[in-house]
Amino acid sequence: MTAAGEDMLALILIADGHRFALPVAAARDLFRPGPVSPVPLAPRGIAGVLNLRGRIVTAICLRASLGLPVIPAEIAAVLENEGERYAILADAAGDVVRLHSGDAQSLPPAMSAPVAAVASGLYRDGEGLVTLLDPDRLLAAASGQADAAA
Residue 75 and residue 33 in contact, taking contact as beta carbons nearer than 8 Å: yes
pTM exceeds 0.85 for this model: yes
Contacts of 18 (CB under 8 A, 6+ apart): 131
Task: For Cα atoms 1, 44, 143, give the angle at the middle one, nearest 5 degrees.
Answer: 40
Whether residue 107 lies inside any domain: the answer is yes
Residue 94 and residue 14 in contact, taking contact as beta carbons nearer than 8 Å: yes
Half-sphere exposure of 37 (CA within 13 A, CB side): 6
Tell me which residue range forms the domain holding 127: 8-144
Whether residue 113 lies inside any domain: the answer is yes
Whether residue 23 lies inside any domain: the answer is yes
Residue 55, domain CATH:
2.40.50.180
One digit per residue, pLDDT tens: the chain, 150 residues?
444 568 999 999 999 999 999 999 999 899 999 999 999 999 999 999 999 999 999 999 999 999 999 999 999 999 999 999 999 999 999 999 999 988 889 999 999 999 999 999 999 888 889 999 999 999 999 988 754 444
Whether residue 33 lies inside any domain: the answer is yes
Whether residue 2 lies inside any domain: the answer is no
Domain count within the chain: 1
Whether residue 1 lies inside any domain: the answer is no
Using CA atoms, how far apart are residues 122 and 104, in angstroms rounded to an integer? 6
